[in-house]
Each structure stands twice: as structure tokens, then as C-alpha cells.
Amino acid sequence: MYLLWLRVAAILYAAASVAVFPAVLYGLVRWRKICVHLAGLALFFHFVSAVEMLVQAHRWMPVGVREVESLLGFAVAGLFFLVWWLYDAISLGIFALPATFFLVFVPALGPDRYTFPSEGVRVSWLVAHIAALLLAYVALGFSLLASILYLVQERRLKSKPKAGQDSWWAPLDWLPPLDTLERIAHATLEFGFPCMTVGLVIGSVLAQETPLGASYFLDPKIIASFAMWVVYVTLLLVRRSAGLRGRRAAYLSGAVFIVMLAVLAANVFSQVHRYGPR
């Protein structure tokens, strides 16, 4: 029965992870309340699941990777609620709640290695995993392109050639206004984030079908992928909270895109895998 409560908690953590972004990035009070209520319910069901799991096993210490992951997720969520209660710092939830979901998601699949019902289902999940991550890379690439064009358009507008004087900026008259380029850069950035998140979640499911199991997450390339997700969240948070626009936003997007390309290269070309002791 504890597995049922853990799955309910995982669903609620996922919903709270979605709600925390409009609550933090856009300061929406309604979403803030929804996030807190969903996360509170998730923490309650998680607590029930953990207690029932340990009582059923007649012990008070976790045994096995999945039990440790579940209790670690509970600790992260509990610490987030403590900080929120003391300091009203819900912005930390933008990191804590998704991290809790990732920690709880794999144990919620079951104590045994997960298997897909058929090869066709497994291939479909694999295609969705690859497509989601590629969309994330394409979206960040478009965001960077729009930011670069913003810099070019800004420079063109500041040049202000004299009447009758030819300017080498003339062929770029087709460029959209600065505000349009800024909105394109931000919109594509926000579109890519859920794509990356979905890709990582599906990848976590695919990993559970392999004999590697939880050791999959010890691969440096996988660690780098999750680190890239954290960098992506930080980029969204900094752009929104600091009000970055124009030149500074373009430079920041460029730096994140370079890091993202490095992670992509590591996943595509590297033949080195370290999954812990063999």
C-alpha cells in the first residue's frame, strides 16, 4: 500500500513543480497558493508512505537505493517547507520541488526493475525522449539567435547614418523591432524548458529498464545533463527576477548555450561510462 501513497505523492510533487514556476517567475499569488497546497499534500502522502514502508519491513532504517532516494526526497521537501515557513522563501521551490520529484519518481515506479509492456512502447518512449531534448536544444538555439539579432539591431539603430550617406547596415532593414526580438528570445527560452524537463523524466524511466538501474545516475554525462537543467532554471530565474534584457540577456543566453552544446557533445560522442563499481 505504501507504493500507492508514494505514487500519489509523486503526482502531487509533479503538479507542485509545474505550479511553482508561474508563482516564482511571474509572482502570481494564485499559483503560489496552489503550489503550497499541492506540495503540502504531497509531503503528507510521502510521510504516510515512508512510515508504512518502514513499519511493513519491521525496521527504522532504509535499505536499498530506492528507499534511500525516497527518504532523501522527503528530507528535501521537508527542508523546503521549513524554509518557506520561516522565511516565506517560496522561490527556493523552483529548485527543491523538481528535485524532490526526480528523487521520488524512480522509487514510485516500484521496488523492482521497471519493464515496458512491449518493445513498441519502449521505442515510443525513446523517440519521445530524444524529440523532447532536441526541441529543448533547438529552442535555446532560437533564443540565442534572437538575442544576437537583438544586438545587431541595437547597433544598427545606434549608428544613425547621416542623410544621403550610405550605411552598411542598410541590408539589415528587415530586422524586427527590438521589443519583438526580446519577446521571441524569452518565449523560445520558456518553451524549451518543459521540453528539457520531459526529456529528462522520460530518460529516467528508460534507465530503469536496464540492469544498471539507479547506477545510471552515476554516469558523469547524466549528471551533466541534470546540471544543465539547473543552469536552464537559473537562466530563467535570473532573466525574470533581475529583469535582464537586451545585451546582458544575450550574453547570458550565449554562455548557457555553449554549456548546453558541451553537454550534448558529451552525450553524443563520449564513449566513457562510469556506473560505479563493476
Distance CA 193, CA 133 (A): 10
Distance CA 24, CA 40 (A): 17
Q: Which amino acid is at 207?
A: A
| pLDDT at residue 150, as a whole number | 83
| pLDDT at residue 241, as a whole number | 66
Distance CA 197, CA 127 (A): 15
Distance CA 237, CA 251 (A): 15
Distance CA 159, CA 172 (A): 12
Cell numbers placing 228: 544543465
Q: Which helix (H) or strand (E) holds 169?
A: none
Distance CA 237, CA 22 (A): 11
> Is there a contact between 228 and 257 (Cβ–Cβ < 8 Å)?
no
Cβ neighbours around 187 below 10 Å, total: 14
Distance CA 113, CA 106 (A): 10
| pLDDT at residue 13, as a whole number | 95
| pLDDT at residue 276, as a whole number | 45
Domain coordinates in residue numbering, the chain = 1-112, 118-278
> How confident is the model over 6-31, as a mean pLDDT?
92
Tell me the per-residue pLDDT of 19-72, one tens digit each, with 9 for 90 and over. 998 998 888 899 999 999 999 999 999 999 999 988 887 777 777 777 888 899
Question: In angstroms, what is the C-alpha Rg of the chain?
Answer: 22
Beta strands in the chain (DSSP E): none
Tell me the per-residue pLDDT of 188-202, one tens digit each, with 9 for 90 and over. 888 888 888 888 888
Q: With left for phi above 0 and alpha for psi between -120 and 50, is residue 164 left, alpha or beta?
A: left
Q: Is the pLDDT of residue 274 over 50?
A: no
- What is the sign, positive or negative, of the torsion defined by CA atoms of 121, 122, 125, 127? negative
- The per-residue pLDDT of the chain, averaged, comes to 80
Burial class of residue 218 in the structure, from the number of CB atoms within 10 Å of its CB (0-12 exposed, 13-18 middle, 19+ buried):
middle
Tell me the per-residue pLDDT of 95-141, one tens digit each, with 9 for 90 and over. 899 989 988 987 887 766 667 778 888 889 889 988 998 898 888 88
pTM exceeds 0.85 for this model: no
Grade residue 156 by pLDDT with cuts at 50, 70 and 90.
confident
Grade residue 9 by pLDDT with cuts at 50, 70 and 90.
very high
The backbone torsions φ and ψ at residue 103, rounded to the nearest 5 degrees and listed phi first, read: -70, -35
| pLDDT at residue 161, as a whole number | 56
